[in-house]
């Protein structure tokens, strides 16, 4: 069960990274506009990040250099948070979309370091202590997502599939996001919490984003948002499969 979760999680993350990489090549001109103005060669960085996504996907999927690939992927997302998202959040603190984008980048950073921590150590290789921050960054982002669902409850309810009643389903969804993130941070029953997060996010991907992607194949927005969700699902599954049994049993 544990190995299956980790394997499936790595596959989900790798697929998502390939999608992101392809998007960086297809929409390089637009991506370049998102690079901070003080950085020279903005189009170069757009393509460079695309290559980095595909390279990281190959390392994570095949297991070859998976640890350094996931470590550097997390560093890249951490730089995105610092250089791209925090300045935007400061400039537009009342814009929920900016907060969401920043939190997604933080979750992706944490998820990458979760994968790095789960990768086996090579001979003479030592564990990097900072990788332990991964699960806390990841969990903190989901706590914030849950809070956002309460703050913007009416808007969030409108995002769901029209055939799912909004009330009770979305209240449970919001509560589970918060509770699962808190449980992972506290360090009690992390396996259960991470498995629940993985289950919620894969349902979110299948029920909400797969239909949107199918209906708007040429719109990059649903592709990006959907595969961000799938990548976070993969990271949650890897975390769930990496928790030692003795930690799962702590009360």
Q: Distance of alpha carbon 66 from its chain centroid, rounded?
A: 17
Q: What is the mean pLDDT of the chain?
A: 85
Q: How far, in Å, are 56, 215, 223, 225 from residue 209 at the CA level?
A: 24, 10, 8, 8
> Alpha helix (H) ranges present in 82-166?
86-91, 96-118, 133-151, 153-157
Structural contact between residues 202 and 226, judged by C-beta atoms closer than 8 angstroms: no
What dihedral do alpha carbons 250, 108, 142, 245 form, nearest 10°?
-10
Q: Please say if the pLDDT value at position 8 is more than 70.
A: yes
Confidence of residue 163 (pLDDT cuts 50, 70, 90): low
Confidence of residue 116 (pLDDT cuts 50, 70, 90): very high
pLDDT > 90: percent of the chain: 50
Confidence of residue 156 (pLDDT cuts 50, 70, 90): low
**Domain locations in the chain?**
2-248
In the chain, the N- to C-terminal Cα span, in Å, equals 22
> What radius of gyration, in Å, describes the C-alpha atoms of the chain?
18
Residue with tokens 């259960």: 192
Nearest to 178 by CA among 141, 228, 204, 152: 141
Query: pLDDT for 210-221, tens place per residue?
Result: 999 999 899 999
Please give the pLDDT value at position 74: 96
Task: Please classify residue 93 by burial: count the beta carbons closer than 10 Å to its beta carbon, then call 0-12 exposed, 13-18 middle and 19+ buried.
Answer: exposed
DSSP tag of 120: P
Sign of CA dihedral 238, 240, 244, 247: positive
Query: pLDDT for 55-64, tens place per residue?
Result: 999 999 988 8
Q: Please say if the pLDDT value at position 2 is more than 60.
A: no
- Cα(166)–Cα(162) distance, integer angstroms: 8
The residue count for the chain: 251
Report the pLDDT averaged over residues 238-251: 68
What pTM was estimated for this model as a whole?
A: 0.86
Please give the pLDDT value at position 172: 60
- Cα(49)–Cα(72) distance, integer angstroms: 11
Please give the pLDDT value at position 29: 92
3-state secondary structure of 245: helix
DSSP tag of 166: S
Report the pLDDT averaged over residues 100-114: 95
Please give the pLDDT value at position 61: 92
Please give the pLDDT value at position 65: 84
> Is pLDDT larger for residue 173 or for residue 38?
38
Please give the pLDDT value at position 251: 44
């Amino acid at each position: 069960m544990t190995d299956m979760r980790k394997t499936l999680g790595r596959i989900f993350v790798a697929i998502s990274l390939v999608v992101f990489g392809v998007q960086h090549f297809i929409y390089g001109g637009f991506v370049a506009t998102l690079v901070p103005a003080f950085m020279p060669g903005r189009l170069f960085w757009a393509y460079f990040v695309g290559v980095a996504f595909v390279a990281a996907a190959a390392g994570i999927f095949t297991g070859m250099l998976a640890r350094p690939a996931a470590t550097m992927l997390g560093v890249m997302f951490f730089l995105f948070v610092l250089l791209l998202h925090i300045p935007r959040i400061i400039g537009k603190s009342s814009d929920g979309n900016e907060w969401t984008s920043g939190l997604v980048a933080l979750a992706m950073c944490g998820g990458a370091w979760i994968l790095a921590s789960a990768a086996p150590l090579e001979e003479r290789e030592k564990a990097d202590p900072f990788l332990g921050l991964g699960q806390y960054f990841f969990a903190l982002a989901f706590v914030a997502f849950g809070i956002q669902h309460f703050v913007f409850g009416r808007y969030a309810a409108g995002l769901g599939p029209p055939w799912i009643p909004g009330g009770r389903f979305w209240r449970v969804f919001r509560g589970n996001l918060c509770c699962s993130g808190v449980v992972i941070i506290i360090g009690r029953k992390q396996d259960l919490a991470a498995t629940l997060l993985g289950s919620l996010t894969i349902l979110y991907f299948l029920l909400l984003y797969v239909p949107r992607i199918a209906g708007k194949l040429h719109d990059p927005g649903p592709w990006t948002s959907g595969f961000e969700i799938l990548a976070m699902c993969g990271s949650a599954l890897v975390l769930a499969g990496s928790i030692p049994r003795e930690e799962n049993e702590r009360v």
